[in-house]
Structure 1
Amino acid sequence: MPALEQRPDVGENVVALTFDDGPSPWTGSILDLLAEHKSQATFFALGCLAAADGGGETLRRIVEAGSEIGNHTFSHPSLPTLDDGAIREELARAGPVIEKASGRTLRYWRPPYFHVDARVREAVSPLGLQEVGCSMMPWDWEWDADRSAAFVLERLQRGSIVCMHDGRPPDEPADLSAPTREASVEAVGMILEAMSHRGLRSVTISELLHSE
């Protein structure tokens, strides 16, 4: 099954903001901004962070806010570098951890780094999850807020799926990205404010798929 990257035929003025690599200390700030704009999003969580202190509480807050959670693997590897069993185990191990913490059954997954090929998809297919890609992704782990927001707003249209980051993988080298996601949080606020002026609202992937 191909990855879902956008839904250009959607009849409502909605887009789907999505966030990878949490839960984290910055997830709550993004949830506050979404609530301020009466919006929801989909958060692709890492199993290792869901199992860490505070992870489950953050996932429950996501669900209570009406947002959605997807599977982003347990430890954020590049899946094509693994054998078939290890690929499947990355998602199969993360799934129960995230589901137990959130109280919700997972429907969607996203490959780390968007590294995916036919073999990876075949290995994951028995899990019955829909792969979610994106229509755009600012380098918010590296760029300042103004640049990330401008990148999204120049391209945003009804049915878009935007990928941003509310956390960082625990084993990520310190020099690979900014040490915090404060710039991402700031960019999300700018994006949501501009969206409200355009009459656009962020919804979950499930709502985007089921909108008329």
Structure 2
Amino acid sequence: MPPARSRPTSLYAALAAAALTVTASAVALTVATPPVAAAACNGYVALTYDDGPNTGTTNSLLNALRQAGARATFFNMGQRVQQNAALVRAQQQAGHWIGNHSWSHPHMTQLSTAQMTSEISQTQQAIQQATGTAPKLFRPPYGETNATLRSVQAQFGLTEVLWSVDSQDWNGASTAQIVQAANSLTDGGVILMHDGYQSTINAVSQIVTNLANRNLCPGMISPTTGRAVAPDGTNPPTNPPTNPPTNPPTNPPTNPPTNPPTNPPTQGPGGCSATVSLNSWNGGFVATVRVTAGSSGTNGWSVGMTLPSGATVTNAWNANRSGSSGAVTFTNVSYNGRIAAGQSTEFGFQGTGSGTGMSPTCTAS
């Protein structure tokens, strides 16, 4: 267990509630005491909420978390993100983390590889369009996963996140039962809850209070380990797993469909290089492109490539795209243009036809 340290300053400390009472003769100012007293953080847990955003409950849940001084991870559905982009931005602006929970909440393991890819890629795009940032975490609906799904997740740079505690709110658990379930959380643990139940919203304050009484603090989920860590990501648990993600299944695929780059890196005139890896199936492919900065680093980059005859790009993530067939150009988005010398970033795109033989050329600025 990491050494005790002062509880990190809450995002909401500067927003401590102030109530103004206006009367005919005077204005009285009352500053509310933060609901959870400062405590030593001897460990971190992740509060997670699935299936949002929802017009009827998301704002209430955000208010409850704000009042408790807690941050959480929201695993959002792509369809609902598209319909309620303002609520996703509200989650982000309140300091919470946002993960991918598929587009339509299907049984992912019953889908084809192409269908899995579509569920994930559409949600990545919807969340990026709403917030400016693509998720790094993916929670499969129903917790159902397999080797094929994990390989598709890897194409998008996603870490699979399941849970160590199930609140059973989806199964009709009462507020008291949800609070009791949270009491079994330990350092690094993740609790499954949902955006959509009043009983879950009502449990927030008591969950956070009980955690503080045990010197546990709400934290973020590490995209490296899939476990809860400090909100700044700098304090991993004492014994992080050696084979993330930490949740079952415990047998990762030994031969994922992502192939090592078959084309050598090409050095562009601006000082960067690019390699491409393919995950192909009959009639389509997903390409992952790694952009590596040269000795002077980059402030921006552009990758051009010529698609094979008959191939068409249908969507892209972590990059802007110009063109869909023949000569196609990808340029950085706002958050991944600056790359330190020798460091890398990745973007991807999905296409129809065959992607075999593509050779990217990178230009940096």
TM-score exceeds 0.5: yes
Please show how residues 1-212 of structure 1 align to structure 2 within 5 Å: 12-24=42-54, 25-52=56-83, 55-141=84-170, 142-153=172-183, 155-167=184-196, 181-206=197-222, 208=229, 210-212=233-235
Structure 1 residues 86 and 160, CA gap change in structure 2 (3 angstroms): same
Counterpart Cα distance in 2 of 1:211 and 1:159: 13
Counterpart Cα distance in 2 of 1:10 and 1:158: 10
Counterpart Cα distance in 2 of 1:120 and 1:161: 21
Alignment identity in percent?
Answer: 31
Counterpart Cα distance in 1 of 2:186 and 2:59: 26
Deviations 1:133-187, CA, capped at 9 Å, x for gaps? 111111102211111211221x1122211111013xxxxxxxxxxxxx1111112
Structure 1 residues 10 and 66, CA gap change in structure 2 (3 angstroms): farther
Q: Which stretch of structure 1 is more off in the superposition, 85-94 or 198-207? A: 198-207
- Which structure has more helix as a fraction of its residues? 1
Helix, strand or coil: the match of 1:51?
Answer: helix
Helix, strand or coil: the match of 1:31?
Answer: helix
Are the equivalent residues in 1 in contact too, given 2:68–2:205 (CA < 8 A)? no
Helix, strand or coil: the match of 2:181?
Answer: helix
Helix, strand or coil: the match of 1:88?
Answer: helix
Are the equivalent residues in 2 in contact too, given 1:10–1:208 (CA < 8 A)? no
Flag the structure with larger Rg.
2
- Name stretches of at least 5 consecutive residues in structure 2 with no aligned partner: 4-41, 223-227, 236-365
Matching residue's letter, 1:119: T
Counterpart Cα distance in 2 of 1:186 and 1:160: 21
Counterpart Cα distance in 2 of 1:10 and 1:40: 20
Counterpart Cα distance in 1 of 2:174 and 2:110: 31
Counterpart Cα distance in 2 of 1:10 and 1:86: 42
Matching residue's letter, 1:32: N
Deviations 1:50-93, CA, capped at 9 Å, x for gaps? 111xx211111111111110000000001011011101110001
Matching residue's letter, 2:179: A
Counterpart Cα distance in 1 of 2:2 and 2:116: 33
Counterpart Cα distance in 2 of 1:46 and 1:138: 20
Are the equivalent residues in 2 in contact too, given 1:46–1:94 (CA < 8 A)? yes
- Name stretches of at least 5 consecutive residues in structure 1 with no aligned partner: 1-8, 168-180
Deviations 1:97-139, CA, capped at 9 Å, x for gaps? 1111122221111100001011211233211111111111111
TM-fit CA distance, 1:37: 2.5
- What's the TM-score, normalizing by structure 1? 0.82
Matching residue's letter, 1:165: H
- What's the TM-score, normalizing by structure 2? 0.49
Counterpart Cα distance in 2 of 1:198 and 1:31: 24
TM-fit CA distance, 1:204: 2.0
Counterpart Cα distance in 2 of 1:110 and 1:127: 13
Helix, strand or coil: the match of 2:48?
Answer: strand
Matching residue's letter, 2:229: L
Structure 1 residues 160 and 10, CA gap change in structure 2 (3 angstroms): farther
Counterpart Cα distance in 1 of 2:93 and 2:61: 14
Matching residue's letter, 2:149: V
Matching residue's letter, 1:19: Y
Matching residue's letter, 2:80: L
Helix, strand or coil: the match of 2:51?
Answer: strand
Counterpart Cα distance in 1 of 2:160 and 2:169: 22
Helix, strand or coil: the match of 1:69?
Answer: strand
Counterpart Cα distance in 2 of 1:80 and 1:140: 24
Number of matched residues?
188
Matching residue's letter, 2:200: S
TM-fit CA distance, 1:10: 5.5
